[in-house]
Structure 1
């Protein structure tokens, strides 16, 4: 039996449900935002910057940015946030802009500007206008694995000389060239993702079924069908970033503490029959990696996604 492709509305509802009940996307977004805020605060101290420009290569529904808007406004000082977001469709970009503009209106000391661009837009990021005393941050969240011209993307990003580049990638490893190996990697990764829902929703939940069918199901199809990468783009993301002139930045203790707090808040443990001695605080874990330059969210002992921060060297 061939399952129907979920509608746009079904995909949105499934994503929204997963975002609300699981720490998966929130871990990525909150960790990324904390690192961006710290880079901006550093520029405020050294260069008196009062404006932040974030270039998001996969803005999607824009769920990452309300928490950043809220955090920026807490300083009480007048601050400007310019968000350039690349999206899949004009309709999605317009809906994302409407949500973010409406949210930002609630913060009187924040000047918010959104520019939406299609991923296929001929307008290169290298043409992004620069403003005086503006911190530039680049957000590569779940982006590079879906982008065949990764080398050119990173070259363009490097030319902007951003204060920080955030990289978030799944650990399912679609970079494996052999189909069978890629299938096995995907199998283990998504098995962990499905199991992790035990910490989020009861097994009989219709909301859980929606997530499994309309979000994870689509992700499985995309990962298995991902095209092989050429020789230039083989290897780890760390190697790729370093080849293109980026060096890793150590993530702060605030990033780690925030991630651990998130897991405490988001742990429900709906597993029906926990075994004796089993950890009843849930199976999600935070792992520090690469000498503190990366944070990973894991389920049990398997990493699901990794957040790292980079700067031009």
Structure 2
């Protein structure tokens, strides 16, 4: 997961350095609306990204049991967990997909990103690898 994340961020804006001297953690870009486009990121923003992602990686690698707070799970695992807790999925609708696709086209900074609609959920991916998925649920 983190390798894919670093690849996507590095491709978005090039960049040098990163966690452990590897890929640029923040990729040197800010996808916020600063003058309507992609803008360089300050070294402070890059540092904060490195700290944030570094803590996540350390937690995944070095911690177990109650000390481990980062647990990456698949969409199928989340769906099973939420379904067994008494929730049912709510379809996000085509407007959410269209809006996500439009925002991706405006601010992605690289052509490897993609938005996919899968089982009523929206997934942001880098080439063929999922980065993050969003879904909506309601109590049955």
TM-score between the two structures when normalised by the length of structure 2: 0.65
Q: Figure out how many residues of one structure are paired with residues of the other and give that number.
A: 107
| C-alpha contact 1:194 1:212 (8 A) present in aligned 2 | no
Write the mapping of 1:81-120 to structure 2, written as runs, cut at 5 A: none
Matched, 1:264 2:96: no
Give the superposition deviation at 1:211: 5.3
Task: Supply the RMSD in Å over aligned alpha carbons.
Answer: 2.5
Gaps of 5+ in 2: 17-27, 29-41, 67-72
CA distance in 1, matches of 2:63, 2:104: 31
* Higher Cα Rg, which structure: 1
| C-alpha contact 1:199 1:267 (8 A) present in aligned 2 | no
Matched, 1:301 2:122: no
Greater Cα shift, 209-218 or 237-246: 209-218
Distance 1:308 1:262, change over 3 A: same
Give the superposition deviation at 1:244: 1.2
Q: Deviations over 1:107-137 (max 9, x none)?
A: xxxxxxxxxxxxxxxxxxxxxxxxxxxxxxx
Write the mapping of 1:1-313 to structure 2, written as runs, cut at 5 A: 189-204=1-16, 205=28, 207=43, 209-210=46-47, 213-228=50-65, 236-269=77-110, 282-290=111-119, 293-313=120-140
Distance 1:241 1:211, change over 3 A: same
Give the superposition deviation at 1:213: 2.4
Match of 2:7, SS state, is: helix
Give the superposition deviation at 1:226: 5.0
Match of 1:261, SS state, is: helix
CA distance in 2, matches of 1:211, 1:193: 16
